[in-house]
Amino acid sequence: MHNLCVAHRGASGLAPENTMAAFQKAMSFPFVQWMELDVQLSRDGVPVVIHDASLNRTTSGAGPVADFRTTQLSRLDAGSWFSKSFGGERVPLLEQVLDATIGRCRLNIELKTYNGIYPGMERKVVELLERKGLQHDSVITSFDHQALRTVRELSAEVRTGLITDLAPASLASDLQQLGASFLSIGFKRITPELMKEMRSRGIDVMAWTVNDTATMRRLAAIDPNLMICTNYPDRFAQLLQDGI
């Protein structure tokens, strides 16, 4: 099995999503070369790693992430909701995750922005990647087409990718118009035809989110170049051990 494993929000089936615990757990698996994470902006304009626009589900806080400064966010418990054993995990800054993964793991950074709700987010993330020298070792992804256009305007070097759960006939041309070389797509949309077309255009494809080994096995059989995004790298490991 040659497919790359992407740890979704870190090893989010084994530790609280988008925390350093989840990222460290994912990197404990030697075959995890990529991780996916989500970025919002704090009130003081700092990229922070959390999936929801609200704090309610995954932290001890409540209300929109955008209403809180990083000093306030850093005091929240982002682990106890998952398990008491993860009590005290914090909402990481994107910069902290970059520092922890440099030279070990590449990042798929999803911008959680829609209709410009986080003005300047794209610039903040691009500048951070450039400052760390990671503009060639990461990809910035989003559902939001305008966010991807903005990233492309800011940098010709940072890779971009479209996130979608649709596979219209125009998908390849849409990616070309966006200047995107990466496709993050719901796993149910993966077909041999889609993979063949994307491969012919030099587009890397990641299927999300695949949490059972039977589906991992089926997708791997379609194309060895397909990246498989999962909450459970340990299940991916089982396939490797079985020689699939």
Instruction: Say whether 8 is catalytic.
Output: yes
What is the token pair recorded at 116?
């410009």
Q: Phi first, then psi: what are they for 8, rounded to 5°?
A: -80, 115
Instruction: Say whether 136 is catalytic.
Output: no
- Which of these is catalytic: 2, 51, 136, 145? 51
Say which amino acid occupies 113.
T
How far apart CA 29 and CA 26 sit, in angstroms, is 6
Asked if residues 161 and 108 have their Cβ atoms less than 8 Å apart, the reply is yes
* CB atoms closer than 10 angstroms to residue 19: 27
| Triad 128, 122, 138: Cα angle to 5° | 55
Q: Is 37 helix (H, G, I), strand (E, B) or coil?
A: strand
How far apart CA 208 and CA 112 sit, in angstroms, is 16
- Which of these is catalytic: 2, 8, 136, 145? 8
What is the token pair recorded at 53?
């626009």
Which ranges in 144-209 belong to alpha helices (H)? Answer: 145-154, 171-178, 192-200
Neighbouring C-alpha atoms within 13 Å toward the C-beta of 13 = 15
The crossing angle, in degrees rounded to 10, of helices 171-178 and 145-154 is: 40
The separation between CA 68 and the C-alpha centre of its own chain, rounded to angstroms, equals: 23
Match 């995890």 to its residue by tokens. 32
Catalytic residues: 8, 51
